[in-house]
Amino acid sequence: MAGGGDSRRPAWLTAPVLMVSVLSIGAGIGQFSVTTVIGTVAAEFGEPTVGDEALAQVGLPVTTLGIALSLIRLASLGGLPIAAQADRFGRRSVLLTIAAIGLTLSAVSALAPTFWFYVALVALARPALSAVNALAGVIAAEEARARDRSASLALIAAAYGLGSGIIAVGRGLLPGEPDWRIVMAFAAIPLVLLPLLARRIREPAIASGHRAAAGLPGKIPRQYVGRVTLLALLTGSLTLATGPGFTLLFVYGEQVLGATPLYLSTLVLAAGPAGLVGILIGRWGADRLGRRITAAIAMAATGGAVALAYAGDIVNLSVGYLLALATSSAFAPPTGALAAELVPTRIRATVAGWETVAGVLGASLGLLCFGVLADATGGFASASITVGVAVAVIAIGFVWLPETLGTELEDLEDA
């Protein structure tokens, strides 16, 4: 049965879920550090352009930066075969192994001698860290009953956001011009804690007796292909907006609008409460209104928020970024619950891997299109509006997914 912990406490307060949430914090630190320092890395290794135009202040063409960030995102495609191994060899062993690999590579990137060497190292770390967050969500879902599954998934989402906030605030508090090498070295902290966390992480009871059949990693049984594909497409469509919307925050804020690192770090710090509110709203909606309607509303609102963020001055950026953080956070609990409740245990980690792939492809496409549109039009506004509106329209696709509110995972095993 799902949720083998202390029945007197909700699953999200039990040690196994709390420990994997700490690994999600580590994944947030490792992945978001790239977002916070990419502008500084570009300025150090790039060839600054002479001119008064705002885009010239970035240090590298936005298209070049978009390509580099897209490559880093695309590297997360490797998270699918990695996550799928958890359906064969167990959640715990795969999770701990890839956490060690991803955090080590992130920390080592602090020693990169060139821009593209840095890109290569963080790209190698990306699939492992993406799979860490995906498997943390799988374990949290499988440790919980239907009544508090969305709360457990909300904790994982909040933990990842906390990791992002820690790295941004830590960078802002560094004296003088923040050294990106120090920021990347922050990944060593959760790496050191890994042996302590491993003692309290266990294999979920429902997963212990289920192992996927041999075959190509990522294979989905025919009867589940339709629903998994649709959910993946919707998840990927959201990241068309959040990919560039979150990744370009420091590049746009510092190099284009002239905001200080401390201001943007404060903005990211404020995003913590905003994201928490969004997660709580998403959890409430998922358990009261249903998984589908909550996810659709959150997705449409995220598209609108990203359109606002890059369409004006620092006020637009601040308000739009915080709204996008809140609404995309609200998207996590209902879609995480859907992903767990649409399929049986033997392919649940594989489905989490496919959701990661969809997010990677959507974010990469969003970054590439955003960069091309920004260069073509001489600004960010048209790019953000185009991408944001498209995402809001696509959200209607949730109508074609079944509602899973109240589903217990053991009821899916004979489906």
pLDDT band at 125 (very low <50, low <70, confident <90, very high): very high
More confident residue, 365 or 302: 302
Radius of gyration of the chain (CA): 20
> Residue 132, SS3?
helix
Asked if 66 and 368 count as a contact pair (C-beta separation under 8 A), the reply is: yes
pLDDT band at 391 (very low <50, low <70, confident <90, very high): very high
Quote the percentage of the chain above a pLDDT of 70: 89
| Per-residue model confidence (pLDDT) at position 5 | 47
pLDDT computed for residue 326 by the predictor = 94
The span from the CA of 320 to the CA of 14, in Å, is 35
Rounded to an integer, the average pLDDT of 34-43 is 77
Least confident window among 31-35, 253-257, 406-410: 253-257
* Cα angle: 82, vertex 145, 272; to 5 degrees: 65
Helices 348-377 and 62-75, axial angle in degrees (round to 10): 180
* DSSP assignment string, 385-402: HHHHHHHHHHGGGGGGSP
**Res 55: pLDDT:** 46
Distances (CA, A) of 322 to 74, 209, 270, 278, 384: 26, 43, 8, 10, 15
pLDDT band at 50 (very low <50, low <70, confident <90, very high): very low
Query: Rounded to whole angstroms, how far apart are CA atoms 188 and 186?
Result: 5
- What the chain holds in terms of domains, given with CATH numbers, is 11-204+221-412 (1.20.1250.20)
Tell me the average pLDDT across 113-128.
Answer: 91
Q: Evaluate whether 138 touches 235 at the Cβ level (below 8 Å).
A: no
**Residue written as tokens 């053991």?**
410
Spatial CB neighbours of 332, under 8 Å, sequence gap ≥ 6: 153, 154, 156, 157, 279, 282
pLDDT surpasses 90 at 38: no
Task: Determine the pLDDT at residue 330.
Answer: 95
- Residue 201 — pLDDT band, cuts 50, 70, 90? very high
Q: Nearest Cα to 251, choosing from 386, 53, 49, 66?
A: 66
How far apart CA 296 and CA 397 sit, in angstroms, is: 8
**CA distance from start to end of the chain:** 16
290-315 burial, b at 16+ Cβ within 10 Å, e below that, comes to: bbbbbbbbbbbbbbbbbbbbbbeebe
- Does residue 203 register a pLDDT over 80? yes
Confidence tier at 368 by pLDDT (50, 70, 90): confident
- pLDDT tens by residue, 227-277: 999 999 999 999 999 988 887 887 788 777 878 777 887 887 787 788 889
At 145-187, the pLDDT tens digits run: 888 899 999 999 889 888 877 887 777 677 666 678 888 999 9
Give 378-385 contacts, CB < 8 A, sequence gap 24+.
378/53, 378/55, 379/54, 379/55, 380/248, 380/252, 380/256, 380/310, 380/311, 381/310, 381/311, 381/312, 383/244, 383/310, 384/244, 384/245, 384/306, 384/307, 384/308, 384/309, 384/310, 384/311, 385/307, 385/311
- Distance CA(72)–CA(127), nearest Å, equals 9
- 170, 392 Cβ separation under 8 angstroms: no
> Which amino acid, residue 195?
P
